[in-house]
Chain A
Amino acid sequence: AIQLTQSPSSLSASVGDRVTITCRASQGISSALAWYQQKPGRPPKLLIYDASSLQSGVSSRFSGSGSGTEFTLTITSLQPEDLATYYCQQFYSLPHFGGGTRVELK
């Protein structure tokens, strides 16, 4: 099974900061990676698919990049509503999620 390792597991940032989250796959997955945002008590919300495609309706503050085994999610100019836990998911083979990154306010 393809494993996904997210880093960091948590981070503290200030409003307006640029935030970067990394997701590493245990083997190459081409661009078959998605990013989700999850707030407490809510289902995950799809942000990015195919590693870099912005889901319809999602703020352009969010961007994704990478291919193969290393991927990043970037939030430019962090806003209070961006405080959440972020997950990556690979769909190159049977779906699997990363462990999550919690984004908190400094």
Chain B
Amino acid sequence: QLQLQESGPGLVKPSETLSLTCNVSGGSISSSSYYWGWIRQPPGKGLEWIGSVYYGGTTFYNPSLKSRITISVDTSKNQFSLRLSSVTATDTAVYYCARPLTSVAYDAFDIWGQGTMVTVSS
């Protein structure tokens, strides 16, 4: 059974770069043609799609975050990663990684990690 697990620092200083990794277990990230995604949720607020990455490296990003985001995939480690630069308090959120239902570029997400809380504060 495929499982996703986010990991990374829970506290990041303003203006620094947030870095998170999503470890995929129970299946190979490179044997299936999915666009693996990152979604975040500020405390008490709704969901915001951040971006997605194909196992071959193709990415697409939320236009509102595009200038600060890098999403990459490491097939040798069976994981994909998010980097968000120049963070501010508004980037404080629970960050989820997720897998879409099918291998099309845009789809619903049916498998989610448990989420990791990241706080931006000095």
Q: Report if B107 contacts A (CB, 8 A).
A: yes
CB-CB under 8 A for A92 and B106, given A43-B113, A87-B47, A97-B49: yes
Cα(A46)–Cα(B107), bound, Å: 11
Closest to A98 in B: B46
- A46-B101, A97-B46 known; A91+B106 contact, CB < 8 A: yes
Q: Which among B37, B49, B52, B109 has the greatest number of chain A C-beta atoms within 10 A?
A: B109
A79 to B46, CA, bound (A): 23
Bin chain B's interface residue count: 20 to 34
Give the A interface residue count (CB, 8 A). 23
Contacts across chains A and B counted by CB atoms under 8 Å? 56
A residues apposed to B, CB below 8 Å = 1, 32, 34, 36, 38, 43-46, 49, 55, 87, 89, 91-100
**Known contacts A43-B98, A46-B109; 18 further A-B pairs (Cβ under 8 A):** A36-B47, A38-B47, A43-B115, A44-B109, A44-B112, A46-B108, A49-B101, A49-B108, A87-B47, A89-B49, A91-B107, A94-B60, A94-B106, A95-B49, A95-B52, A97-B39, A97-B48, A98-B46
